[in-house]
Amino acid sequence: DAKTTQPPSMDCAEGRAANLPCNHSTISGNEYVYWYRQIHSQGPQYIIHGLKNNETNEMASLIITEDRKSSTLILPHATLRDTAVYYCIAGPAYNTDKLIFGTGTRLQVFP
Interface residues with another protein (CB under 8 A) are 32, 34, 36, 41-46, 49, 51, 87, 93-94, 96-97, 99-104
Q: Which lies closer to another protein via its Cβ, residue 21 or residue 92?
A: 92
Least Å from the CB of residue 32 to another protein = 5
Q: Which lies closer to another protein via its Cβ, residue 14 or residue 44?
A: 44
Q: Residues 69, 49, 47, 45: is their CA dihedral positive or negative?
A: negative
Q: Three-state SS for 80?
A: helix
* Strand 61-64 relative to strand 55-56, pairing: antiparallel
Least Å from the CB of residue 90 to another protein = 12
Contact 47, 84 (CB under 8 A): no
Nearest alpha carbon to residue 2 among 29, 35, 37: 29
Least Å from the CB of residue 38 to another protein = 9
Q: Which lies closer to another protein via its Cβ, residue 3 or residue 16?
A: 3
